[in-house]
Amino acid sequence: MRKHKLYANLKKCIFGASEIPVLGCLVGKNGVRPDPGKVRVINEWPTPSNVKELRQFLGLATYLCKYVSNYAGKIRPLSQLLKKDAAWVWTADCQQAFDAVKQGLTEAPILAVADQDRPFHVVCDASDFAIGCALMQHDHEGRDRVVYYQSRQLKPAERNYPVHDKELLAMKYALAKFRVYLLGSRPFVVYTDHASLRTAIKSPHISQRMARWLSFFAE
């Protein structure tokens, strides 16, 4: 460290620990998990009674969204309340979404630390309102481990896409989000759950949008 002029504050150093806190997470030999303190705060969060309280809740929850599958889809009823001029009506769907976020973080898996010496695989999914994906690897014991979850809600125009276009959009989103892990690495596999996508890609008559996406995949 001295050779490269790197310095450390001894009071802030941790030695011989099984886990260390890093940016709101705990990193250990088994992987990465959310800070239990932050999860506890979310678990004990009372039902929001106004937009300000909801924004505060989602601000903390979104910081930990990489641990929750389809996070964007889960919070959709809540995000609708944040729209301009939206009336504040806390419905059963809102409560269900609120509880789902809490449950998702309480039951969050320990994420694997990405290993560039092992092949990755990507799982994609699309619904009527959101797309999501997971970067995954098999560990040294052959277990399928999640490295990272990503998701986002569909824009109004995207919600009108055919089902196979939504699945392809989810694939494009996944490859863009996980590009730093996948580009230039060994071959990887992408899993999607829509069989018609294979037929659509092979069709001689594809849309300009799909042609652009296929060009992106060619990287």
In order along its 219 residues, the chain shows pLDDT tens digits of 788 888 888 888 888 888 888 888 899 988 999 999 999 999 999 999 999 999 999 999 999 999 999 999 999 999 999 999 999 999 999 999 999 999 999 999 999 999 988 999 999 999 999 999 999 999 888 899 999 999 999 999 999 998 888 988 999 999 999 999 988 768 888 888 766 566 656 666 677 777 777 777 666
* Backbone phi, psi, residue 66, to 5°: -65, -10
Q: Which CATH class is domain 120-217?
A: alpha beta
Helix intervals (H) in 64-219: 71-74, 76-80, 92-106, 163-177, 179-182, 196-202, 208-217
Neighbours of 60 (CB within 10 A): 15
In the chain, the amino acid numbered 35 is: D
Token pair belonging to 53: 């309280």
